[in-house]
Structure 1
Amino acid sequence: MLLIDVVRVSEAVTRTSARLGKVGHLAELLARVAPAEAEIAISYLSGELPQRQVGVGWRTLQDLPQPKLVATATLTDVDALLTRIKAVSGPGSQAARKALVAELFSAVTSQEQSFLMRLLSGELRQGALDGVMIEAIAKASGAPSADVRRALTLRGWLPAVGAAALSGGVEALHAFKLEVGRAVAPMLAGSAPNVAAALEKAGVPAALEWKLDGVRVQAHRSGSEVHIFTRTLDDITPQVPELVEALLALPSTDLVLDGEVIALRPDGRPHTFQVTVSRATSKTDVPRLRAETPLSVFFFDALRVDGTDLLDLPYSERQEILTRTAPPELLTPRLTTDDVNKAEAFFTDVIKSGHEGVVVKSLTSPYAAGRRGAGWIKVKPRHTLDLVVLAVEWGHGRREGKLSNLHLGARDPESGDFVMLGKTFKGLTDELLAWQTERFLELADGPTDGWTVTVRPEQVVEVAFDGVQRSPRYPGGMALRFARVLRYRPDKRPEDADTIETVRALML
């Protein structure tokens, strides 16, 4: 398949606002792509490279050669050149890489050059997020979208899953299994304004678990080999020796557990989230950091134990297995009840202990990896949302010279874009102002010398607010009341941000 075919579909998807329209454009191309090129096509249309990173930045993309007038480059040609670019290393690598980039760009048209520049810089935003691409793969392959989604949670790389579906259909998708050492997307929780509402959603009796303000971890063990992954699927094994030791001390030698690591004070109350995340992600001088700020681990779910996959079992059965697998001191405190008063008292005790709140869990829910289902519902003592920063305004007065006022957006799953919900400059310390000024200048997506700096929608921020009200000022027809910054979330990606539907459910 020619690269220009993918480029034209990408442009058609960008111009199309309706989800079904996007799916139709993508499915039409996927239905005719050759099996050997399917993974490449899906990667490019998802805004990714099969090689992930090839070491090409903006500086390398300056002074490009003249484009060709006729499109002849195939997906295989382009992929092979990108693989060669990634392999360049050692003395003279910068010049060699630039020469290969010139070779690549001289072989494509101006339309293809523009596409490749955005693809290489990570700025190919066309609304073909995982949800849209999953439906397109299902339509093109004839496989149910639920089977595509499940295979994705187990494999973790949509292009590989899509290529399997296109070549082998449902049977190929069913061949994907949970693999120890390969992270799967974690199950996520919805939200409710209070414990009673959460119990109504989950059904009673239900389990309530402490919601810790720590770093989500997925712990894999195969024999003496251990891998620890974050919720963004980054491997942090060397940074968390406490967790490695805890996992190796368990009787099972083949398991995958879901949990949280958190830094606790001597009195058992939690350190701030920033302290925990800094400790868990720092790569240098780990022994000293461990002595100064030890981490505690609490497991709350079991995905695999003794070689048996548990994803499809109900929560209650997975908990029974987890309880037999790990000692009580490594388990997240939990209460199972059908009594609202007891549940609310449990919630109150959690808050008094300094933790975030509770997660109410249906006893019958399977582990819906990668999805925010109704089986888990988080409850906090205040309204909070994880939103994405869309732009920032320069401050004045004491904040002159600092990027201050944040433009906040919620994710729209239908379009793949973000919907602005208002602005805030509240809750920002001098330290946060300095940090965010540097951060957002790095993410600037346009001029930085005006009043408002537009930024690439990549930074997630957690905000507290008093409610959601109707407002004609913003595209979504809603605005947050008295929004204030709680913290930035380096552990979350833009696709993890709360959706516009979640915000709408909270509207007064």
Structure 2
Amino acid sequence: MAPSGALPILRPMLATPGPLPGAGEEDAWAFEAKWDGARCIVNAPGDGTLGLVTRAGNDATATYPELASLGERLRGRPAVLDGEVVVLDSEGRPDFGLLQRRMGVTNRRRAAGLAGECPVHLVLFDVLHLDGRPLLEHPYEERRALLSGLGLGDGPHWSVPAHVRGHAAQTWEATLRGGFEGVVAKRLTSRYVPGVRSSEWRKTKHLVTLDVVVGGWTEGRGGLAGLPGAVLAGLDGPAGLRYVGSVGSGLSGRERRELARYLEVVRRDTSPFANPVDVPGAHWAEPRLVAEVTFSGWTSADRLRQPTWHRLRPDLTRLD
């Protein structure tokens, strides 16, 4: 229990991975874009100051100095808000690769310099405590209305994006076109349970399927010694085969053993990729094997984001 007049120390409520609610139940849910960023609890005591706490419980106030003016905007309205810190690319889409430049920086001078070079944006989507009143037991729909009523609008480095009641399919298509990571569905009657991964909130990611060429591999560790821990993936381009990332997640033990046999047959001494491969201990292979992978988007360095192995495509094996 927080002392009188003090803000409570809260952890963010988390969503459970799962499918979007179907047509028969979607009217009981609200849908928001899933932002590819860093979750933060925002503490605004109402005196013009602001504190930011990460999902891991670390103080990130000095890391994102450009958000300090939000505290002034909330002067006289002590509040605890829930949101996500993101960095937007030139097309307004969240880019986690750009955000990584900002994360964990505690030196104030360095953080201020990065704020000018690569500013963050705070997406606000919940209010947990307002004007000395706890809101955790209030339903999502009511909390959202209170958040909208704060009049924060689109600040210089923050916003309160819209949510959609019902219309799951339309939200899915809109976020896919907009380059967002996915959709978060929140039951309209859901209470806020700090630190808990609740089925009352569901997250569904957009995944893209792609055929890639295997141009090498890296050895696994421990029980995977001698076997591919990850394969090095490429795509054909005007300059030749372009390295786009390593894929290890999703490979079964059987597939690793099978790949080891295939890769031994097509091994080579030099890289088949036209661009540099920033992977230590790489083993090279003739670009013959084709694999199907899923991924959630592209990083700013043109690498696959969160790639997962799906299957080998022997029907697409390259013979030339």
Q: TM-score range by the shorter chain?
A: 0.5 to 0.7
Q: 33, 39, 42: which is aligned to 1:216?
A: 39
| 1:219/1:326 CA distance change after superposition, 3 Å | farther
What is the aligned partner in structure 2 of residue 240 from structure 1? 64
What is the aligned partner in structure 1 of residue 152 from structure 2? 327
What is the aligned partner in structure 2 of residue 119 from structure 1? none
SS in 2 for 1:238: coil
| 1:390/1:344 CA distance change after superposition, 3 Å | farther
Using the alignment, how far apart are the partners of 2:5 and 2:255 within structure 1?
43
Are the aligned partners of 1:315 and 1:363 in contact in 2 as well (CA < 8 Å)? yes
Using the alignment, how far apart are the partners of 2:89 and 2:130 within structure 1?
31
CA shift for structure 1 position 376: 0.7
Q: 90, 103, 120: which is aligned to 1:266?
A: 90
Are the aligned partners of 2:44 and 2:71 in contact in 1 as well (CA < 8 Å)? yes
SS in 2 for 1:234: coil
Q: 61, 66, 74: which is aligned to 1:250?
A: 74
| 1:464/1:383 CA distance change after superposition, 3 Å | farther
What is the aligned partner in structure 2 of residue 373 from structure 1? 198
CA shift for structure 1 position 269: 2.2
Are the aligned partners of 2:250 and 2:308 in contact in 1 as well (CA < 8 Å)? no
Query: What is the root-mean-square deviation of aligned Cα atoms in Å?
Result: 3.8
Paired residues, number: 239
Q: Higher relative contact order at CA 8 Å, sep ≥6: structure 1 or structure 2?
A: 2
Q: Residues 51-130 of structure 1 correspond to what in structure 2 (within 5 A)?
A: none
Match status 1:364 vs 2:212: no
Q: 192, 196, 202: which is aligned to 2:18?
A: 192
Are the aligned partners of 1:304 and 1:311 in contact in 2 as well (CA < 8 Å)? yes
| 1:368/1:241 CA distance change after superposition, 3 Å | same
CA shift for structure 1 position 351: 1.7
CA shift for structure 1 position 300: 0.4
What is the aligned partner in structure 2 of residue 60 from structure 1? none
| 1:376/1:390 CA distance change after superposition, 3 Å | farther
* Unpaired segments ≥5 residues, structure 2: 210-219, 231-245, 260-275, 282-304, 313-320
CA shift for structure 1 position 181: 5.8
Using the alignment, how far apart are the partners of 1:349 and 1:380 within structure 2?
13
Are the aligned partners of 2:14 and 2:198 in contact in 1 as well (CA < 8 Å)? yes
CA shift for structure 1 position 186: 1.2
Deviations 1:226-255 (A, max 9, x none): 210111111110011122222321254311
Are the aligned partners of 1:298 and 1:331 in contact in 2 as well (CA < 8 Å)? yes
What is the aligned partner in structure 2 of residue 204 from structure 1? 27
Using the alignment, how far apart are the partners of 1:238 and 1:375 within structure 2?
33
| 1:430/1:336 CA distance change after superposition, 3 Å | same
| 1:375/1:252 CA distance change after superposition, 3 Å | farther
Match status 1:336 vs 2:159: no
Larger proportion of helix: 1
Using the alignment, how far apart are the partners of 2:60 and 2:208 within structure 1?
31
| 1:326/1:240 CA distance change after superposition, 3 Å | farther
Supply the AA of the counterpart residue of 2:178. Answer: S
Supply the AA of the counterpart residue of 2:12. Answer: P
Using the alignment, how far apart are the partners of 1:227 and 1:422 within structure 2?
49
Using the alignment, how far apart are the partners of 1:177 and 1:373 within structure 2?
28
Deviations 1:98-145 (A, max 9, x none): xxxxxxxxxxxxxxxxxxxxxxxxxxxxxxxxxxxxxxxxxxxxxxxx
CA shift for structure 1 position 182: 5.7
Match status 1:352 vs 2:177: yes
What is the aligned partner in structure 1 of residue 295 from structure 2? none
Using the alignment, how far apart are the partners of 1:262 and 1:363 within structure 2?
25
Q: Percentage identity across aligned positions?
A: 27
SS in 2 for 1:311: coil
Match status 1:230 vs 2:54: yes
Supply the AA of the counterpart residue of 1:185. Answer: R
Are the aligned partners of 1:190 and 1:377 in contact in 2 as well (CA < 8 Å)? yes
SS in 2 for 1:218: strand
Using the alignment, how far apart are the partners of 2:133 and 2:184 within structure 1?
26
CA shift for structure 1 position 372: 1.3
Using the alignment, how far apart are the partners of 1:377 and 1:270 within structure 2?
20
Supply the AA of the counterpart residue of 1:336. Answer: R
CA shift for structure 1 position 303: 0.6
SS in 2 for 1:318: helix
CA shift for structure 1 position 334: 1.3
Using the alignment, how far apart are the partners of 1:216 and 1:377 within structure 2?
16
What is the aligned partner in structure 2 of residue 288 from structure 1? 113
Are the aligned partners of 2:39 and 2:85 in contact in 1 as well (CA < 8 Å)? yes
SS in 1 for 2:172: helix
CA shift for structure 1 position 287: 2.0
SS in 2 for 1:184: coil
| 1:350/1:176 CA distance change after superposition, 3 Å | same
Using the alignment, how far apart are the partners of 2:152 and 2:129 within structure 1?
17
Using the alignment, how far apart are the partners of 2:4 and 2:226 within structure 1?
49
CA shift for structure 1 position 316: 0.6
Supply the AA of the counterpart residue of 2:104. Answer: T
